[in-house]
Amino acid sequence: MPTCCVTEPATKSEAEAEAEANAKPAAATVAPAAMIGLRRGLMRGLKWSGIGIASFVLLSLMVIGLLRWLDPPTSAFMLRQSLSGRFDARPPPYVYHEWVPWQDIPQSVALAAVAAEDQRFPDHAGFDLVEMRKAWRGFRDGKRLRGASTISQQTAKNLFLWPGRDWLRKGLEAWFTLLLESLWSKQRILEVYLNIAQFSPDTYGVGAASWRYFERPAVALDAQQAALLAAVLPNPEIYRLEAPSPRVQRRASWIRQQMRQLGGNGYLDNL
């Protein structure tokens, strides 16, 4: 009988076997290498984020610390108004502003602002939790969510930030409010507020407002004029000092009443 030839299976050459052996570790190291690169990128991002946050904290501490003694020459809101005037090609001046030191601000002006905007100003730590709870309860009952900003919050917003209700701005406002309350006295907060508050679309601070609308320096303002100034603070784009509407007049009368109920100028002794 013829014998069958049994063939042995073909074997790989030594070169092929070596190439295959070398390919396996390379494929196996792709995933770990990618993970290492991702981890390094993440750590680098965290490092720079930490540096950025630390720099922002230190810078804000330094600026607010200096402004405890140095009067700010302008504010974020005034700069925004100036830029808007230039872009709209309006004739200058784009902003009316004059700084008035605390000793030249009548107590009636300071008291009117507190009576109108933040009657718990001497006592809270920057946030009026009572008014915040009232606003939230009203919102839950279907009413429009009203503002509950304190004078400290408004100072932080006007000095450093921008208009709006976005969460970033509110978060920064809270941070700057905490710094103001920690590094400044209540008197200093109120002094800066009265000098940067907006009293008309292009008028900031009691100094410029008193000259433009009452034709006298701030130190010569009386209680009725102080109440009128405070009456336009909620919305100086609508409430106007040059021709006070009946609504502004009624609000000024209410502010005068609140000033008396707070105990008059002696209420500011708590500052």
Q: Give the three-class secondary structure for 72.
A: coil
Exposed e or buried b per residue across 52-84, where buried means at least 16 C-beta atoms within 10 angstroms of its C-beta: eeeeeeeeeeeebeebeeeebeebbbbeebbee
Report the candidate in 229, 235, 70, 225 with the shortest Cα–Cα distance to residue 146: 235
Among 13-27, 46-60, 66-80, 180-194, the range scoring the smallest mean pLDDT is: 13-27
Q: Which fold has domain 73-270?
A: Penicillin binding protein transpeptidase fold (1.10.3810)
| Degrees, nearest 5: CA angle 61-64-66 | 105
pLDDT digits over 170-198, tens only?
999 999 999 999 999 999 999 999 999 99
- The ranges assigned to domains in the chain are 15-66, 73-270
With a threshold of 0.75, does the pTM exceed it? yes
pLDDT digits over 144-173, tens only?
666 679 999 999 999 999 988 889 999 999
Peptide bond into 32 cis (omega under 30): no
